[in-house]
Amino acid sequence: SVRLVSALSGFAIIVGVLFFSFKRWGFLSSFIAFASIVLNNVFIWRSRSGNVDTLAALLIFIAFLLMISNRKNKYILLGLLFALIYLTKLSLVFFPFMILILYEAIYKRKELKKNIPEYIKLLIISVALSGAWIFLGFTRIGTEFIRYYIFNSDQGVVNINLLNFKRDYWDYAYNSLQRRYYFIFLVGIVFLTKGIKDSKNFLILLFSLSLLIFLSFTQRNNNWYLVPSMPFWSLAIGYGTYKLLKVFHDSKFMQLPLLLLIFYISYRTFSINILPIMNTYSTADQAQSSRVVKELSNQKDTIIRLDHLYPAAIYYSDRNFLASPKESNTNKYFISRVDVTKGIKSKKFIWLMGTKEEVKEFIKQNIDLKLREIDVNKSEAIIQVI
């Protein structure tokens, strides 16, 4: 049930990419676009995990479809979508919002004055719905909710440094597109740039690249931050394929070998990269270790999870948790490794848990502490402070 929203969102995105590309660029282009999204290992991993990354990606994809539509109430619906994106992934809402501003300023500039009432409706709906949620959080938790939710819940993703460019996110794109599709993606970007007078090409181009460029300057480094861009990468790949076929005048001699090549690449990628993801039981292992720590600990104990994988732990253990990934700082929900060590020495923390690799590394780095490792299953372990 926890993973159902992610799975349905991922499925909806795949269907949306397939139908959008098929309607505009034909069978072969849509098939390659489809293959590039269903064989994207990061996208599939997040689609089968208990998180909201694919839900946020779906909301952004729907926003894109609304931007290019001629619906009379599209700005009201966009206001609702922006509120939902904000409540799902907070600062991520600026990604589609800024693209909408550029799109309206460039392609709808003759209608800007007439659309002012619609823009006001969009802002009112977005702010009112988001504000209502924040107010409810404040009434239950207090000012700490506002401080964390508004200023800290993005974990520093929006903190950028123009002197801190790193190519990691481009490598993530290269690897998640299984290397082969990455080059078609670059071809698609070139053709989209050449055809930028078409507003749809402009939007696909910006949705494909803006997040990728922005994240290259952020302090954080996680490949799943790119999930909202991945459907648009596949659209760029579909468009690139379409334009390449046009260069060869839609030659059937070109189409058949290309189709066979894509079938072969798809089979290899599925068997090597996707099947291992589908056959993993890491979430079930986390649930089991959480049940064990519940039996071992007392109700008032605070458990330390040595990574970001705390949702399943909280749900199945019914205990208070603090997460302590290696790079974390201490705040209400996270705790630094230095403070974890201090807490162990003062007997404030008795139970820690995480993957076997994290547990073994933590024990190795703290040999002066009396710690006992308890193996739970193939991937999870618990630490007891003796």
Burial of 58-93, coded b for 16+ CB within 10 Å and e otherwise, reads bbbbbbbebbeeeeeebbbbbbbbbbbbbbbbbebb
User: How far is the first Cα of the chain from the last one, in angstroms, to the nearest whole number?
Assistant: 37
Distance CA 168, CA 217 (A): 10
pLDDT tens series, the chain, 386 aa: 778 999 999 999 999 999 999 999 999 999 999 999 999 999 998 998 878 999 999 999 999 999 999 888 999 999 999 999 999 988 899 999 999 999 999 999 999 999 999 999 999 999 999 999 999 999 988 888 888 888 777 777 777 777 788 889 999 999 999 888 999 999 999 999 999 999 999 999 999 999 999 999 987 788 889 999 999 999 999 999 999 888 876 666 777 777 888 888 888 888 877 887 776 667 788 999 999 999 999 999 999 999 988 888 888 999 999 999 987 888 878 999 999 999 999 999 999 999 999 999 999 999 999 999 999 998 999 999 99
Burial degree of 246 (CB within 10 A; 0-12, 13-18, 19+): exposed
Strand order in the sheet with 371-375: 320-323, 302-305, 351-355, 380-385, 371-375
Say if residues 92 and 228 touch (Cβ distance below 8 Å): yes
| pLDDT given for residue 281 in this prediction | 64
| pLDDT given for residue 250 in this prediction | 65
| pLDDT given for residue 312 in this prediction | 83
Say if residues 239 and 204 touch (Cβ distance below 8 Å): yes
- Sign of the C-alpha dihedral computed for residues 118, 119, 121 and 126 taken in this order: positive
Q: What is the pTM of this model?
A: 0.80
The strand pairing partners of 372, in sequence order, are 384
| pLDDT given for residue 275 in this prediction | 80
Cβ count near 154 (within 10 Å) = 16
